Amino acid sequence: MTKPRLIKKTLFLLWMFVCAAYLNACATSQTSVGSTSQNPESDSSQTETAVNTPIDTSSNNENTREPIIEEASGNFINFSAAVSQTLNTQPGDINLDFEEAQLNEFIALVMGDLLNLNYVIDPNIVGSVTLHTSTPVDQNSLLGLVEVILALNDAMLVQNNNFYRIIPSTDFSAGSISPRLGGDLTIAGFGVRIFPLQFIAAEEMKELLDPIVADTSAVTTDQPRNLIIASGTSTELQTIEETIAIFDVDWLRGRSLALIPLSNVDPLTLEAELNAILSSGNEPALQGLVRLVPIERLSSILVVSATSSALREVETWVRRLDQPSESAGRKIYVYTVQNGKALELADILQSIFQDSGQSGNSDTGLASRNGDTTLAPGLTPAQIGDDINTSPGGGNSTGLSFSNNSDIKIIGDDVRNALVILASPQDYSMIEAAIRQLDIVPLQVLIEASIIEVTLRDELSYGVEWFFQNGINSGEFDGFGTLDLGSPGITALAPGFSYTILDSAAQVRVALNALATVSEVSVLSSPSLMVLDNQTATINVGDEIPVPTRQSISNIDPTSPTVNEISFRQTGITLTVTPRVNASGLVTMDIIQEVATAATTTTSSLDAPTIQNRRIESVVAINSGETIMLGGLMLEQQAVSESGLPFLSRIPILGNLFSQNTNEDSRTELLVLITPRVIRNQDDARSITEEYRSRLTNLPPLPFEPSQ
């Protein structure tokens, strides 16, 4: 064997040991890549349908679609397979020491005497062996050692059934060996193996194997089946199998992916800009680590990176570049209103910019600059004209500043409860911030009211207010203590009085018990109703009575009957409340309380009832859970009754001796107790529901009367 060939074989073995050591070092120093928090720069929203989640109005460019990010480990080889490639350190019991021994003698000693194998040696096999083992080797390593010695002498070991053939390398015919699947290490000698690939292409795998395999090995590919077909010694086939196990991994799982939605820039345009940046002097190191895939259908860009750090860097550049352009054209946006009414929001946005003189007409359709536009039913138009600029106002309001020469149109769709907005991306981002401040979940207020009628007599002759101020707190009524009525209410629009009862649960009972001890107290109604903040709720309990409004008599036929025109008048108890809640829980209520009763008309000869009406109209402000007492509406009635003996009381002149006429005067005062309770969340609503359920549960059972 020539020296160059021997040197080449020796260098190949040394190179294999160096590769194994390097891969082992890489595996031990590999660190896991943790997940990183995403803090992308804010950008403008451009989605077809806005996702109605709270936004930070300090940023005018908030993307409503979040990117989909999958950060991987960045491992593109099988480190466990690389670590498993360790040298066989199992201690043996065989020492070999040959010095210029004949090759035939070496084969006879090892394969015949030590391994007891059947073998045939080609007559052309000649050579010498110099081998010395400093440590004993085991028996399983001997056959591999024979293959190495034969390779150094241009010979090979081929297994045929139950014996081995030792032939020159030049005499080998591939057709004489049946291929086997995978690297079966139990079969020694030269062989042909088929390796199926799962994740890597066969041609790419062959390029990785070419610098590794020895000259005596051959590697071919089967692209349709994605197979690697290799021939060589058992040691060479083992090397090929281990190399394939290292590189045949799911490379896509090792890469980090990010699908980033775009709001203002076309995906193809952004791809060109990013490629220019990555290839420039600013970010040259990222050019080979990142791949960009524009997806126009989703208005997004897919970023595929070999490392998570490169992915985050590219994502930052996407946020910087995805900004609205001053020259960007108008687009159509659809904002689905979640809590309010689309028509009301459209009117509010229209009224904000009414000074521009470009407001649309809800009756005739949206006024267009280029002509008239007819809208479908259910759509209410609004148009915002040029040169719109509103400065920030007081309080918590947010000022909006729109670009010059903007042509913004807002239409409310009542059917779908949505806003259709035609605007540039820059203008829409600011319009959306204003909409989100208006489209919030409204508070609810539970109104608990009690309408009470108190008969004024004895200590109550001067009214309930005088009784509270001079009767209870004077100490005359023992057992009731001191009633804290708080301060007078706010803005009483009708004659009367109002007090705020701070400790509502206890103090209301004290007040009613005090009134009941000195007079008759009748609860006319005790309604409870739920109403949204700044909305009006009305409850009515009563009857509609007929009232004649006009009589018609025919002038042509005096015998014709009189025609009466009748209208119906609502009587009973009517309560109308409009609450307004501020941030601290103070409830301001517009209250209209009316009690209407029908009485016989005594002031005229008309056959029509007289409507006695007692009405309280007031604006009060109290904290949630406190009770407001409204009163001072007194009613004086005179009742005339006649009684006597039957028949005798009807005798003229003498009948007065057997009858009696009584004139009875009665005075009553109407009191209204109202307690608002603010419901801010679902927990408050459930708590109130449980409270009412417990009230129903604690009611006494109805008396049971057995059937006769």
Choice among 130-139, 488-497, 572-581 with the minimum mean pLDDT: 488-497
Instruction: Mark whether 330 and 317 lie in a shared domain.
Output: no
Instruction: Mark whether 333 and 310 lie in a shared domain.
Output: no
Which of the two residues, 264 and 356, has the higher pLDDT score?
Answer: 264
Which of the two residues, 87 and 143, has the higher pLDDT score?
Answer: 143
Looking at this protein, which amino acid is placed at residue 356?
Answer: S
**pLDDT one-digit tens code per residue, 98-129:** 888 888 888 888 888 888 888 888 888 888 88
* Contact partners, residue 166, CB within 8 Å, separation at least 6: 107, 119, 120, 121, 122, 125, 150, 155, 156, 157, 158
**pLDDT one-digit tens code per residue, 477-518:** 443 333 444 444 433 333 444 444 544 554 555 555 555 555
Instruction: Mark whether 282 and 222 lie in a shared domain.
Output: no
Query: Which uninterrupted H or E stretch holds 535?
Result: none
The dihedral sign for the CA sequence 415, 416, 418, 419: negative
Instruction: Mark whether 333 and 315 lie in a shared domain.
Output: no
* Contact partners, residue 68, CB within 8 Å, separation at least 6: 257, 258, 259
For residue 86, being part of any structural domain is answered with yes
Q: How far apart are CA 171 and CA 269, in angstroms?
A: 63
Which of the two residues, 8 and 673, has the higher pLDDT score?
Answer: 673
Domain with 267 in it: what CATH number? 3.30.1370.120
Whether 303 contacts 317, CB under 8 Å = no
Smallest CA-to-CA distance from 444 within 185, 682, 284 is with 682
Instruction: Mark whether 135 and 221 lie in a shared domain.
Output: yes
Instruction: Mark whether 239 and 142 lie in a shared domain.
Output: yes
Instruction: Mark whether 267 and 242 lie in a shared domain.
Output: no
Which of the two residues, 400 and 624, has the higher pLDDT score?
Answer: 624
**pLDDT one-digit tens code per residue, 247-295:** 777 766 667 888 888 887 888 988 888 888 877 755 555 656 788 889 8
| 285: exposed, middle or buried (Cβ count in 10 Å: 0-12, 13-18, 19+) | exposed
**CB-facing half-sphere around the CA of 249: CA atoms within 13 A:** 19
Smallest CA-to-CA distance from 244 within 230, 223, 255, 225 is with 230
**Mean pLDDT to the nearest integer, 606-617:** 79
Q: How far apart are CA 548 and CA 245, in angstroms?
A: 101
Instruction: Mark whether 102 and 213 lie in a shared domain.
Output: yes
Q: Domain total for the chain?
A: 4
Q: How far apart are CA 562 and CA 558, in angstroms?
A: 9
For residue 574, being part of any structural domain is answered with no
* Domain hosting residue 500, numbered range: 463-511
Which of the two residues, 311 and 653, has the higher pLDDT score?
Answer: 311
Instruction: Mark whether 279 and 291 lie in a shared domain.
Output: yes
Report the range out of 337-351, 356-370, 557-571 with the highest average pLDDT: 337-351
For residue 270, being part of any structural domain is answered with yes
Query: Does the structure show a pLDDT above 90 at 219?
Result: no
Instruction: Mark whether 172 and 299 lie in a shared domain.
Output: no
- Quick one: tokens of 374? 């007819």
Choice among 167-171, 448-452, 687-691 with the minimum mean pLDDT: 167-171
Q: What Å distances lie between residue 34 and 38, 40, 66, 289, 313, CA to CA? A: 13, 18, 20, 19, 16
What is this structure's pTM? 0.46
Which of the two residues, 420 and 610, has the higher pLDDT score?
Answer: 420
Query: Does the structure show a pLDDT above 60 at 18?
Result: no
Q: How far apart are CA 430 and CA 236, in angstroms?
A: 68
Whether 265 contacts 318, CB under 8 Å = no
Q: How far apart are CA 352 and CA 349, in angstroms?
A: 5
Three-state secondary structure readout of 463-506 = CHHHHHHHCHHHCCCCCCCCCCCCCECCCECCCCEEEEECCHHH
Whether 476 contacts 514, CB under 8 Å = no
- Quick one: tokens of 499? 């007090």
Choice among 216-230, 576-590, 624-638, 678-692 with the minimum mean pLDDT: 624-638
For residue 571, being part of any structural domain is answered with no
Instruction: Mark whether 156 and 88 lie in a shared domain.
Output: yes
Query: Does the structure show a pLDDT above 90 at 579?
Result: yes
Task: Give the chain's mean pLDDT.
Answer: 70
pLDDT band at 79 (very low <50, low <70, confident <90, very high): low
**Domain end marker among 302, 322, 342:** 322
Instruction: Mark whether 285 and 185 lie in a shared domain.
Output: no
pLDDT band at 419 (very low <50, low <70, confident <90, very high): very high
Choice among 114-128, 143-157, 568-582, 640-654 with the minimum mean pLDDT: 640-654
pLDDT band at 432 (very low <50, low <70, confident <90, very high): confident
